Structure 1
Amino acid sequence: MKRTEKKRKDIIDAAIDEFREQGFLGATTTSIAKKANVSSRTLYNHFESKDALFEAISEIMIERNSSMEPVPYDPDRDFVEQLKDALWRYVEVITEKTAIGLNRMVMSELIRDLDRSRQFFNESETHDYPIKRLISEAMDAGELRKADPDFATNQLLVLVKGFFFWPEFFLGENATSKDVLNDCVAMFMAHYKRGK
């Protein structure tokens, strides 16, 4: 890693800590620079403002949540098993400790600032969920009835996140039985299985 890249990463890491501890309004670029062991001038060479830093962190969060590769449909495997495997990988990505920390930090600011929230969700809508490809290709193959794959994917992931992401996000723990994922998939299949 080049020295300038390391400084940029140090600034982002320090900003994440500062935003988490002080909130966006209470955080200062002076404190962020001090935590990153850089001068304020160096910080401003990388990020023109506290807002620019927050936007960079939000983008990192979106990218981390989208870090799982799109999942292709395999006609030689049972679709339900493919879907469960893909969902477990997705749950692992979104509940990883760093991802949860980033989500908490960003979401607290989005709740406070409606304009920033709109901007964030507009940006996140440009990123496809990795499960969408699997669902879309299964629809094309006739495994699932034809529908809007974006809408269908979102329906399924809202169910899954409700049981596996939000308890981790709010409580720092998740006592949800793994069998619940099977129920989420069963509900999805009851609605989208071909022949409905």
Structure 2
Amino acid sequence: MKRTEKKRKDIIDAAIDEFREQGFLGATTTSIAKRAQVSSRTLYNHFESKESLFDAISEIMLKQNQSMQPVSYDPSRDFVEQLEDALWQYIAVITDETAIGLNRMVLSELIRDLDRSRKFFSETEAHDYPMTKLIGEAMDAGVIRKADPVFATNQLLGLVKSFFFWPEFFLGENPTPKNVLNDCIAMFLAHYNPEN
């Protein structure tokens, strides 16, 4: 890693800690620079403002949440197994300790700032979840009822997140039994049964 890249990473890491502890309003670029062991001038060479630093962290969070590769439908395998495997991969990505920390930091600021929240969610709308391809291709193959695969994916992930992401996010642990994922899949498949 080049020296400038390391300094940028140090600034981002320091900002994440500062925002988490002080909130966006309480955080200062001076404190962030001090934590990162860089001058304020160095910080401003990388980020023009506290807002741009926050935006960079939000982008890192989005990229981390999108790190899972799209999943293709395999006609030689049982669709339920494919869906279950893909969902467990997705759950592992979104409940990773770093991902949860970034989500807590970013979402707390989005709750406070409606304009920033609107901007953030307009950016996330352009992102396809890794399961969208799997669901769309299964629809094309007639395995599940044809519909909008993006909408269907959002329905399924809404169920999954309520049991596997939000408890981790709010409680720091997940008391949900693993077999609840089977119920989420069953509800999804009942709605998208090709015979409906």
TM tier, smaller? over 0.9
Matches within 5 A, 1:129-144: 129-144=129-144
Aligned to 1:193: 193
Corresponding position of 1:51: 51
Structure 1 match to 2:5: 5
Tell me the amino acid that sits aligned with residue 55 of structure 1: D
Quote the Cα distance in structure 2 between the aligned partners of 1:5 and 1:195. 55
State the alpha-carbon separation in 2 of the partners of residues 71 and 153 from structure 1. 12
Which residue number in structure 2 is paired with residue 160 of structure 1?
160
Structure 1, unpaired ranges of 5+: none
Q: Find the counterpart in structure 1 of residue 103 from structure 2.
A: 103
Q: Distance in 2 between matches of 1:124 and 1:70?
A: 16
Q: CA deviation at 1:70?
A: 0.3
The CA distance in 1 between the partners of 2:11 and 2:125, in whole Å, is: 27
Letter in 1 for 2:87: L
- State the secondary structure of the residue aligned to 2:173: coil
Q: Counterpart of 2:15?
A: 15
Separation in 1 of the partners of 2:193 and 2:65?
Answer: 27
Matched, 1:118 2:111: no
Letter in 1 for 2:85: D
Structure 1: distance between partners of 2:123 and 2:173: 29
Map Cα deviations across residues 114-173 of structure 1 (whole Å, 9 max, x no partner): 000000001111111111110011011111111000110000000000000000000001
| Superposed CA RMSD | 0.5
Alpha-carbon distance between aligned partners in 2 of 1:69 and 1:114, rounded to the nearest angstrom: 31
Corresponding pairs, count: 196
Residue 13 of structure 1, CA deviation: 0.3
Gaps of 5+ in 2: none
Q: Which residue of 2 aligns with 1:93?
A: 93
SS of the residue corresponding to residue 60 of structure 2 reads helix
Deviation larger for 123-132 or 95-104: 123-132
Q: TM-score, normalised by structure 2?
A: 0.99
Return the alpha-carbon distance in structure 2 between the equivalents of residues 49 and 14 of structure 1: 15
Distance (Å, rounded) in 1 between the aligned partners of 2:4 and 2:127: 28
Q: TM-score, normalised by structure 1?
A: 0.99
| Identical counterparts, % of pairs | 79
| Deviation >4 Å, runs of 4+ | none
Q: Distance in 2 between matches of 1:131 and 1:64?
A: 16
